[in-house]
A = this chain, B = another copy of it.
Amino acid sequence: MPRVAASTEKKITALLKRQALSVTESRKRILQYFLDQPGALSHGDIEKKVGTTFDRVTIYRTLQTFVDRGLIHTIPSADNAVRYALCKDECGDGHHRHEHIHFVCQQCHHTFCLDEVVTPVLKLPKGYSPRQVEVLVQGKCKDCTETAKK
């Protein structure tokens, strides 16, 4: 029995093919990693996970390719460590459309997409033309809040 269910394998391959990407080991493994866990991942996280199997440069290039093709999006941070998360809506080649906000847990240091929370509409001073709004909330995440109660 394979470590990764055949159905997941199929799903991953389909995801890559949909974006007209060659299906390679590194792309499959990195995409798998994103699917296997709920949060966002930094380049460093991925390197720790698969860095012995694949070259650092390959990871950089894979992430860039995924961003370009709309498979993942970047999440800004205040600590010089941009994170990446899967795009759930219909992002495509060259264009991202995200309306959700991001949550950074100050306790477990995980970053989550809160897909159900829509970015607010803001009234900006005259002259400023908004194109994209990013909201980054810091605090304590669901898991960490629940654990604290026990």
Q: How far is the CB of A88 from chain B (nearest CB, A)?
A: 15
Q: Is the CB of B122 within 8 A of A145?
A: no
Kindly report which residue of chain B lies nearest to residue A140, judged by CB atoms. B129
Q: CA A61 – CA B80 in complex, angstroms?
A: 16
Kindly report which residue of chain B lies nearest to residue A136, judged by CB atoms. B134
Q: Which of A102-150 contact B (CB under 8 A)?
A: 103, 106, 114, 116-117, 120, 122-142, 145-146
Question: In the assembly, how many copies of this chain are there?
Answer: 2
Q: CA A96 – CA B26 in complex, angstroms?
A: 42
| A82 sits at the interface (CB 8 A) | yes
Kindly report which residue of chain B lies nearest to residue A126, judged by CB atoms. B142
Q: CA A117 – CA B94 in complex, angstroms?
A: 30
Which residues of A approach B to under 8 Å, CB–CB? Answer: 74-82, 101, 103, 106, 114, 116-117, 120, 122-142, 145-146
